[in-house]
């Protein structure tokens, strides 16, 4: 469980990350900040490419930065998009998140870092495709 202050700090870090977003095609600036169980924060902005399939979402940038530093256990991720609407991860990012557990928190905010809502990965992905399925355990 994380405190409200920690949630706001993650949101503000996601806002900071969005400033480094590279989005010349969509102009849809997204930022993410992931908190690991070790207490470290990694941030990422979306990175677009003229070959759209090569584009990477902010959430995956932040998660992969953490993983590249040896971290694989997460407590929460904050996601902010442009404007004042809630921003939640796309389906591809949700699947990446499932890989690292179902009980960590996704915090949604707006471009100013205002808290707009939260839910767990389990709530975002009620019927997950989990690693154990590949081993024949369909539970």
Domain 4-135 has CATH 3.40.140.10: yes
Query: pLDDT tens digits for 1-36?
Result: 899 999 999 999 999 999 999 999 999 999 999 999
pLDDT exceeds cutoff 70 at 138: no
Distance CA 130, CA 10 (A): 26
Query: pLDDT tens digits for 110-132?
Result: 999 999 999 999 999 999 998 88
From residue 8, how far is each of 52, 62, 82, 91, 114 by CA, in Å? 32, 17, 17, 24, 8
Task: Please tell me the predicted confidence (pLDDT) of residue 133.
Answer: 86
Q: Where are the domains positioned within the chain?
A: 4-135
Mean confidence (pLDDT) of the chain: 95
Active site residue 59: yes
For the chain, what is the total number of helices (H) and then of strands (E)? 4, 5
Which of 16, 48, 59, 123 is catalytic? The answer is 59
pLDDT exceeds cutoff 60 at 81: yes
């Amino acid at each position: 469980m994380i405190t409200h202050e920690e949630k706001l700090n993650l949101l503000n870090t996601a806002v900071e990350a969005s400033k480094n977003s590279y989005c010349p095609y969509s102009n849809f600036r997204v930022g993410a900040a992931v908190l690991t169980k070790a207490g470290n924060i990694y941030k990422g902005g979306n990175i677009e490419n003229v070959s759209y399939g090569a584009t990477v979402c902010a959430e995956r940038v932040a998660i992969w930065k953490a993983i590249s530093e040896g971290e694989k256990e997460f407590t929460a991720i904050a996601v902010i998009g442009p404007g004042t609407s809630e921003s939640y991860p796309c389906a591809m990012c949700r699947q990446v998140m499932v890989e690292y557990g179902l009980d960590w928190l996704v915090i949604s905010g707006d471009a100013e870092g205002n808290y707009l809502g939260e839910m767990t990965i389990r709530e975002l992905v009620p019927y997950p495709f989990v690693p154990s399925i590949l081993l024949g355990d369909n539970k």
